[in-house]
Amino acid sequence: MNDMRHVTDEMRLKLAVQKSGRLTEPSLDLLARCGLKLSRGKDQLVGFGENMPLDVLFVRDDDIPDLVQEDVCDLGLVGLNVLEEKRLELASRGHSARFQPLRTLDFGRCRLSLAVPEGTSYEGARSLRGRRVATTYPFLLEKYLRERDIAAEIVTLSGAVEIAPRLGRADLICDLVSTGSTLQANHLREVATVLESHAVLIRTPLDLPPATDEWVQRLLMRIDGVQQVRESKYIMLHAPRGALPEIRRLLPGSESPTIIPLEGCADRVAVHAVCREDVFWETLESLKKAGASAVLVLPVEKMLA
């Protein structure tokens, strides 16, 4: 709490988050794991950071790049798909994007894909020649077609892209996909990926006052810590000294483990290690085969490199 003492209102960081959609819950979860306590009245557009000089503005995801680039917000959490579309749109008007990506985040994974109605053949990009492609991402699609030297008609829609072929408005679509169930429900078949996407943390191009910038750095360090521990496990086991090289080889993504002698057992030791990847049953079985016993796998709650 002492950290908050000298922070005046204009020094508070403003972070834009999607108001209601697929990025909202994972974004707020990330901030909570970074230690942010947010007070937010029902339907309020601003959440107040109680223990950090940081407020969250809830907005439409499409507005986030502009809000950050126009310096209304200092930071934003938004999909790469939205960012890249915006970057290309700005370029088409002779402007360059001024928002700066700070971190790739481990949520919001999806891909912008081309999908054709079931029963339609597709033999690579040349099958797109002269076809009508419905999308809400005209600039990303235009770049994809241009890079392949394909002339096709882009039908720009503001939503409900997946029903465009059925309505006769397009021959195929270019839309976001994660599991593919929406495509399946609409009798569409995914045929090519235009962009692999994930959530990104972006910042304003402008310099921030040092005290504010220090909070950006602290937030980044915490985000790195949170992302690292999501998969990380702490492993403890007993092993014969002779099996240590094999056991170290089997521990997934671990740096030097701690080796502790066991009282009254000259040839057995305890091994403690942080594994930066998930530990699966198969790994435990191999460890046991290599001579390990008393194997414990614990989740890691926080990590600071």
Which positions touch ligand ATP (CB under 6 A)?
18, 21-23, 60-62, 79, 81-82, 108, 110, 176-178, 197
- Of 11, 19, 48, 62, which one interacts with Zn ion (CB under 5 A)? 62
**Touching Zn ion, residues 82-141 (CB under 5 A):** none
148/288 Cα distance (integer angstroms)? 52
Residue 204 near which of Zn ion, ligand ATP, none (CB within 5-8 Å, type-dependent): none
Which CB, 64 or 274, lies closer to Zn ion?
64
What gap in Å lies between CA 224 and CA 197, rounded to an integer? 19
Torsion of CA 227, 229, 232, 235, to 10 degrees: 170
Strand pairing report for 233-240 and 265-275:
antiparallel
Does 213 engage in binding with Zn ion (CB under 5 A)? no
The distance of closest approach from Cβ of residue 80 to Zn ion in the complex, given in angstroms and rounded to an integer, is 13
Tokens 């169930």 locate to: 181
Verify binding: residue 61, Zn ion, rule CB under 5 A: yes
Least distance from ligand ATP to the Cβ atom of residue 175, Å: 8
Q: Which residues pair with 270 in a beta bridge?
A: 238, 260
If one asks whether residue 63 binds Zn ion (CB under 5 A), the answer comes out as no
Q: Is 66 in the site for Zn ion (CB under 5 A)?
A: no
Residue 222 C-beta: closest distance to ligand ATP, Å: 22
Q: Shortest gap between Cβ of 22 and Zn ion (angstroms)?
A: 10
**Nearest-approach distance from CB 18 to Zn ion, in angstroms:** 8
Q: Does residue 175 belong to the site contacting Zn ion (CB under 5 A)?
A: no
Tell me the residue ranges of DSSP E strands in the chain: 13-18, 38-39, 46-49, 54-59, 75-79, 100-104, 110-117, 132-135, 153-156, 172-177, 188-197, 199-203, 233-240, 258-262, 265-275, 293-299
Which CB, 36 or 59, lies closer to Zn ion?
59
CB 277 within 8 A of CB 231: yes
**Site for Zn ion, rule CB under 5 A:** 61-62
